[in-house]
């Protein structure tokens, strides 16, 4: 897949994410282990999106390093 098609796909996903986030702004309860939070759904959606983006950049780099080490 070339760089232009990746850019188009990323742009479409970003637009869809923004639309979904802007339509879901109400408060929600969020439980994490022993903690109970109340936050706007927009904040939680953006946080999950950012975590996904970070993981999406880290995992391929780890596999590239592992493959490079195996071929050396």
**Tens of pLDDT, residues 12-23:** 988 988 888 788
The 10s digit of each residue's pLDDT in 24-63 is: 778 888 888 888 988 888 888 888 888 988 998 888 888 7
When pLDDT is averaged across residues 56-71 and rounded to a whole number, the result is 76
Q: Would residue 3 be called left, alpha or beta, if left means φ above 0 and alpha means ψ between -120 and 50 degrees?
A: alpha
The CA–CA distances, whole Å, from 17 to 2, 4, 25 equal: 23, 20, 13
In the numeric block, the tokens 């802007």 are attached to 22
Domain of residue 66: give its range. Answer: 14-71
Residue 35 located in a structural domain: yes
Residue 3 located in a structural domain: no
Residue 2 located in a structural domain: no
User: pTM, whole model, 2 decimals?
Assistant: 0.57
Residue 27 located in a structural domain: yes
Q: Note the pLDDT of residue 17.
A: 80
Number of domains within the chain = 1
Residue 46 located in a structural domain: yes
Residue 66 located in a structural domain: yes
């Amino acid at each position: 897949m070339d760089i232009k098609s990746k850019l188009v796909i990323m742009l479409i996903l970003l637009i869809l994410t923004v639309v979904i986030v802007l339509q879901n702004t109400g408060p929600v309860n969020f439980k994490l282990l022993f903690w109970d939070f109340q936050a706007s759904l927009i904040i939680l959606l953006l946080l999950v999106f950012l975590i996904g983006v970070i993981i999406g950049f880290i995992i391929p780099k780890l596999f590239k390093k592992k493959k490079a080490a195996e071929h050396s």
